[in-house]
Amino acid sequence: MMPGPGRSGLILEEPLLWEKGKEGRTAFSMPEQDVPECSGEVDRELLGNGPDFPDLSEMDIVRHYTRLSTWNFGIDTGMYPLGSCTMKYNPKINEKMAATPGIAASHPLLADELSQGALQVMFELQTFLATLTGMDAVSLQPAAGAQGEMAGMLVFASYFRKKGEKRNKILIPDTAHGTNPASAALCGFKPVQVKSGADGILDPKIVAELMDEETVGIMLTNPNTLGLFEESIREITAIVHGKGGLVYGDGANMNAVMGLVDFKRCGIDIMHLNLHKTFSTPHGGGGPGAGPVCVVEELEPFLPVPRIVKGRDSYHLEVDCPDSIGRLHAFFGNFGVLVRAYSYILSMGAENLKKASQLAVLNANYVRESLRDVLHLAYDKPCMHECVFSDKKQQEHKISTLDMAKRLIDHGYHPPTIYFPLVVPGAIMIEPTETENKDDLDQFITVFKDVAREAREDGERLRQSPMHSKVRRLDETLAARSPCLTG
């Protein structure tokens, strides 16, 4: 059996801090109190009894959090092949830039004249993103990809409201990003599913049959969630525009096409970007994120406020935009994420951004070709940034996608995305990104081939996996139906 980067060995157990604490322990010496103690009933009523913190030594605290950190897995630990998520390595120079004291400690309520450096960074980032996508204007406000989608749908609604048109439907392919239908529904549009063709991409004829004067347009993910480029995109966008509709482009998979695709020329009217995927910010576990929206000139007036405006000698935030969809949240955006993206773009340069996408596509196709003999390939054609397999070949041995994913954990690999996209039963979606070298890819491929061999020869082992992790298989159905929300 080819060993992966994981090894069985010490698994550090760790109780709750309240279970560790012993009365009398302390982690530091309190300075001598120089204010009088409170007294009287009123003071006691106001203060209450206070939280029951455990008494801990410095060593108790350090060991507690160090042990907990060994349970975690991240891109700094090993390969993170989650399809659709672009879990690429995040260069530490970008972390350093975002942690610069003048940047990290800047206050969002400072006046414009005291925030010129921050405003310049964001203004220039907008310019970079417009250039990379081919679009005309950008807002950095959305705090995540899903909020970027919602902003796009609000722009759609405002655009047609100003034209005096009542449209209530939107076309969403079955290969679109998973949050698209919810974003559209939140803004009052009824999602209409568009089935992809036998080759995994959209058929313009089907789009033409569904597109009418009651439909605001279409939400496209390109490359789509099968990792395939929508080759008929210009024909599809022409059909939508011919009926007076608009085209939304989900940029969650931008990592495959940086510097390679001009989205405006493809017919996209508005799109969002996931800076926490493509442009180097650690993500997962709920954040942080950023989902800027890029628009063509016609939709620029509808972008959220405030807008960053460059004057002759300074930058300022403009709020007087009568057609704007308004504010998306209290402050401008997730500034630290924006700084990381700005640093990433500057440090990479135009040619290396393009090369990153080329290597991401190369790596995905290398994995696709290397595993096609042991896993069923859902669509037998070159992919972009990710490849999609299924468990069709393992089903005769009563082994599922979940069994193989759990077995990978025993070898030190975070499982790939499984059972998504829904158009592929038993889907296994692998996105290696550009940051994995050939040696690491070869090791992953060899381990996956051995897991597939085990599926034929020793299926019971897979059904009992993982065996060497901190916890074994959880009851995922119970967790989904009756989650423990009390801590």
38 — pLDDT class (breaks 50, 70, 90): low
Gap between the Cα atoms of 162 and 325, Å rounded? 12
Q: What local confidence, expressed as pLDDT, does residue 40 receive?
A: 60
What pLDDT is recorded for position 115? 95
- pLDDT digits 0-9 by tens, 436-454: 999 999 999 999 999 999 9
Strand-pair category, 387-390 with 376-377? antiparallel
According to CATH, the topology of domain 349-481 is Aspartate Aminotransferase, domain 1 (3.90.1150)
| 110: confidence class by pLDDT, cuts 50, 70, 90 | very high
Closest CA to 223 of 158, 160, 271, 185: 271
Model confidence pLDDT, tens digit, residues 250-274: 999 999 999 999 999 999 999 999 9
Mean pLDDT of 276-285: 84
Mean pLDDT of 304-319: 94
Q: Are 270 and 222 in contact (CB under 8 A)?
A: no
- Which CA distances in Å does 185 have to 180, 189, 210, 311, 368? 9, 5, 18, 39, 35
- Strands 293-295 and 137-139, by their bridges, are antiparallel
The pLDDT of residue 7: 66
Of 130, 487, 100, give the one whose Cα is nearest residue 300: 130
Q: What percent of the chain has pLDDT over 70?
A: 95
The residues, ordered by sequence, that sit 6+ positions from 371 with a Cβ below 8 Å of its Cβ are 387, 389, 430, 445, 448, 449
Three-state secondary structure along 350-407? HHHHHHHHHHHHHHHHHHHHHHCCCCEECCCCCCCCCEEEECCCCHHHCCCHHHHHHH
Which residue is listed with tokens 């079955």? 174
pTM summary value: 0.91
Q: Where along the chain do its domains lie?
A: 93-346, 349-481
- Mean pLDDT for the chain overall: 92
Contact (Cβ atoms closer than 8 angstroms) between residue 361 and residue 384: yes
pLDDT reading at 1 higher than 60: no
Quick check: 9 pLDDT over 80? no
pLDDT at 311: 92
Domain 93-346, CATH 3.40.640.10 — does that match?
Answer: yes
**For 62, phi and psi rounded to 5 degrees?**
-60, -45
Quickly count helices (H) and strands (E) in the chain: 16, 13
- Residue range 90-99: mean pLDDT, rounded: 94
Q: Sorting pLDDT into bands at 50, 70 and 90, what band is 343? A: very high
* pLDDT at residue 333 in the model: 85
Which residues face 388 on adjacent strands?
A: 429
Residue 217's pLDDT band (cuts 50, 70, 90): very high
Please give the pLDDT value at position 287: 67
Q: Which of 8-12, 28-32, 186-190, 456-460 has the lowest mean pLDDT?
A: 8-12
Please enumerate in sequence order all residues whose Cβ is within 8 A of that of 256, keeping only pairs 6 or more positions apart, or say none. Answer: 223, 227, 229, 357, 360, 361, 384, 385
DSSP 175-188: TS-TTHHHHHHHTT
Q: Is the pLDDT of residue 113 over 60?
A: yes
Q: What is the pLDDT of residue 149?
A: 96
Instruction: Indicate the DSSP class of residue 82.
Output: B
pLDDT digits over 146-180, tens only? 999 999 999 999 999 999 999 999 999 999 988 99
The answer on pLDDT for 487 being more than 80 is no
